[in-house]
Amino acid sequence: MSTRAFRILGVQQIAIGHTNKEELTKLWCDLFGLVAVNTYRSEKENVDEDILSLGVAPHAVEVDLMQPIDPEKSPKVHVPTLNHIGLWVDNLAACVEQLAAQGVRFTPGGIRKGAAGYDVCFIHPKGNENSPIGGAGVLIELVQAPPEVIAVHAS
């Protein structure tokens, strides 16, 4: 394999979906003790989301509790229940360019601002004829790491 123009630095988030966000909140907040740090709602993305934090910055992992605004519409953020994982990337643009050249399939929309304010891009769970490499059934969010996360991994 050729030299990578990017590094994966760690897990940025896990996103869990359910038709009843209160059940998720009971487990993750009430029983596990995580604290909500933000919310996000998007009709276009069909999501009503609570953003929790697990751990200490810059190594904290975001846990997103997602409920569909309309369970009958797409995207169905609750199917599968483990909706996606997010990975910190030190150079998102270079990562996307290099992976696309190697046949990785991305979801529509390209690099854009995510719910937490970072630039993001998603690897599609499945490859296709034009881009045969997907996430092997898992939606993967690539997230541009902020300078403080990159600094921790500098060596």
Domain annotation covers residue 44: yes
pLDDT at 53: 95
Reported as a single tens digit per residue, the pLDDT across 28-87 is: 999 999 999 999 999 999 999 999 999 988 889 999 999 999 999 999 999 989 999 999
Instruction: Note whether residue 127 is domain-resident.
Output: yes
- Which pLDDT value is given to residue 2? 61
Residue 90 lies in a domain: yes
Number of domains in the chain: 1
DSSP line for 51-107:
EEEES-TTS-EEEEEEE-SSTTSSS-TTSSSEEEEEEEES-HHHHHHHHHHTTB-B-
Whether residue 3 is contained in a domain is answered as: no
Which range of residues forms the domain containing residue 105? 8-152
In this structure, what CATH number is given to the domain that contains residue 53? Answer: 3.10.180.10
Tell me whether residue 1 is in a domain: no
- 94-108 pLDDT per residue, tens: 999 999 999 999 999
